[in-house]
């Protein structure tokens, strides 16, 4: 009986996924994408607001380079914990409840950060806010991917990724205006309020994903699935003629069940997340401080990181467009080479305001495209039963680099390293990422997805 139940569940999952993949994008899917995009803007705002607030904070509290590094690192520590715990939990309780709970936790502790009066208290609040935000990110990526047709996954994840850059650029600009009028505390009050608003919007606008509901073998899940599919108007009558044109590299290496969490694929993707995250967040976290050390004013340093965020928006959008035509492996490889070159060039121009402002958005573009390219591999390589776990593990490993990197950079600054040398050493993660991409391209398998045959559909109908 258990074997029959498992068989029916697998066939239902295949049938639902086949229907979504063969249909055009509808209003529900677009609405979910837009709401997830808004949620992702919160992450961009939070990370950049901390890197901006740390400039006046370091002067007001007389913080050393190591203390600044600690303050920048505690958020990623929380994100790592949140991703590693929240991903598997979302595979158990659902993507939607995990997302809403995580947003609520994030809202509370970002807001409380404004009440901190010393380094220890602020670090504690940043840690707890990071745990909430870390749980948000895998849920957002998987919700977006599971509502989209397989051929559109690279596109929707690229669009989703632009939220971080938009949130960073728009929110960062707002943070600068707030700090000029009020103090750094206003930055966190605004972040907490915006996150609380997204909790309310999420409750109304985001249903549970069809893939997750189809993977549950309960009557309640089947009823919810029927409601969601009805809202999406997926009856199979309106098939998208482009449905068959799914890039081989998007679905390569996938069985009907998906890759195992203990496989070499998981290890390589986790390491790829670590390398991509290192170069992206080094630029976002440290450019304001390093440009000031290179001789620029605080406002010029902040302008540099805002331009990096604008470049990130362009990078996500560019990858979204290219991913429908080019293998993500090729895209990540190309952008990694470009990102390493931009990091080296930035090291040479960091003391020149005009040239630094020209290179900064190009650096942001390449870094964002690298990370989004790695994101696009996860939904294709893992099945609904462990997909959010895989994303959470990958993001968690990426956050580990966010923990170590600020601490090391802080120690290196105290040790007398100049900004040029710090940018140059960031070329090394790009080289390591190229090796990982080459390894994944070489060793991945390409079995076909299994679709339910006529006999399987008959069994499904008999148990409906």
Does residue 455 carry a pLDDT above 60? no
pLDDT computed for residue 240 by the predictor = 45
pLDDT computed for residue 425 by the predictor = 87
Q: How confident is the model at residue 294 (pLDDT cuts 50, 70, 90)?
A: low
pLDDT computed for residue 338 by the predictor = 92
Helices marked H in 118-263? 119-147, 153-181, 185-205, 210-215, 219-231, 248-251
Token pair recorded at residue 354: 């005009």
Does residue 292 carry a pLDDT above 80? no
Asked if 292 and 309 touch (Cβ cutoff 8 Å), the reply is no
Mean pLDDT confidence for 306-326: 78
Residues ≥6 apart with Cβ < 8 Å to 58? 67, 68, 289
Mean pLDDT confidence for 53-67: 81
Which of the pair, 71 or 108, is modelled with greater confidence? 108
pLDDT computed for residue 454 by the predictor = 42
pLDDT computed for residue 129 by the predictor = 93
Q: What is the DSSP letter of 151?
A: G
**What are the tens digits of pLDDT across the range 347-370?**
887 777 778 778 888 888 888 888
Task: For each of the domains in the chain, give its residue range(s) and CATH number, in order of start.
Answer: 2-448 (1.20.1250.20)
Token pair recorded at residue 380: 């294709």
What is the pTM (predicted TM-score) of this model?
Answer: 0.72
| Proportion of the chain above pLDDT 70, given as a percent | 82
Mean pLDDT confidence for 228-238: 70
**What are the tens digits of pLDDT across the range 142-174?**
899 889 887 788 788 888 877 877 787 777 777
CA distances for 190 relative to 127, 196, 197, 418, 439, angstroms: 18, 10, 11, 34, 44
Token pair recorded at residue 168: 């960073």
Which of the pair, 136 or 58, is modelled with greater confidence? 136
Mean pLDDT confidence for 414-433: 84
Nearest to 71 by CA among 79, 63, 83: 63
Own/partner long-range contacts of 435-441 (Cβ < 8 Å, ≥24 apart): 436/268, 436/271, 436/272, 436/275, 437/272, 437/329, 437/332, 437/333, 437/336, 438/333, 439/268, 440/265, 440/268, 440/269, 440/272, 440/329, 440/377, 441/329, 441/333
Q: How confident is the model at residue 244 (pLDDT cuts 50, 70, 90)?
A: very low
């Amino acid at each position: 009986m258990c074997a029959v139940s498992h068989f029916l569940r697998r066939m239902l999952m295949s049938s639902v996924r086949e229907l979504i993949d063969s249909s055009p994008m509808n209003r529900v899917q677009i609405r979910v994408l837009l709401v997830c995009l808004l949620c992702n803007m919160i992450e961009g705002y939070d990370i950049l607001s901390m890197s901006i607030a740390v400039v006046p904070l370091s002067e007001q509290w007389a913080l050393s380079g190591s203390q600044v590094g600690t303050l920048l690192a505690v958020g990623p520590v929380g994100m790592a914990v949140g991703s590693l715990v929240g991903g598997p939990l979302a595979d158990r309780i659902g993507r939607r409840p995990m997302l809403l709970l995580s947003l609520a936790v994030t809202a509370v502790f970002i807001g409380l950060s404004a009440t901190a009066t010393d380094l220890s208290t602020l670090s504690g609040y940043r840690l707890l806010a990071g745990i909430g935000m870390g749980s948000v990110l895998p849920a957002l990526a998987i919700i977006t991917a599971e509502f989209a047709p397989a051929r559109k996954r690279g596109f929707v994840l690229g669009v989703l990724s632009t939220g971080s850059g938009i949130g960073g650029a728009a929110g960062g600009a707002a943070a600068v205006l707030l700090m000029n009028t009020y103090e750094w505390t206003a930055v966190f009050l605004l972040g907490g309020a915006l996150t609380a608003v997204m909790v309310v919007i999420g409750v109304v606008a985001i249903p549970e994903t069809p893939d997750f509901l189809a993977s549950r073998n309960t009557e309640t899940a089947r009823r919810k699935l029927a409601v969601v599919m009805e809202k999406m108007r997926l009856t199979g009558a309106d098939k998208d003629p482009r449905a068959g044109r799914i890039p081989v590299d998007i679905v390569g290496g996938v069985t009907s069940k998906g890759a195992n969490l203990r496989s070499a694929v998981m290890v390589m993707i986790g390491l790829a997340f670590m390398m991509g995250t290192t170069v992206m967040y080094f630029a976002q976290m440290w450019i304001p401080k390093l440009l000031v050390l290179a001789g620029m004013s605080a406002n010029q340093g902040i302008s540099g990181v805002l331009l990096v965020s604008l470049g990130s928006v362009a990078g996500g959008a560019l990858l979204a467009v290219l991913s429908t035509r080019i293998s993500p492996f090729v895209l990540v490889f190309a952008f990694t080479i470009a990102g390493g070159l931009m990091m080296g060039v930035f090291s040479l121009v960091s003391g020149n305001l005009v040239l630094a402002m020209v290179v900064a958005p190009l650096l942001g573009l390449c870094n964002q495209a690298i990370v989004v390219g790695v994101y696009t591999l996860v939904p294709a390589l893992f099945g609904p039963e462990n997909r959010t776990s895989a994303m959470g593990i990958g993001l968690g490993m990426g956050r580990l680099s966010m923990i170590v990197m600020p601490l090391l950079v802080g120690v290196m600054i105290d040790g007398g390293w100049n900004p040029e040398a710090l940018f140059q050493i960031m070329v090394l993660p790009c080289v390591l990422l190229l090796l990982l991409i080459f390894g994944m391209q070489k060793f991945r398998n390409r079995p076909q997805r299994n679709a339910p045959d006529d006999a399987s559909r008959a069994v499904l109908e008999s148990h409906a």
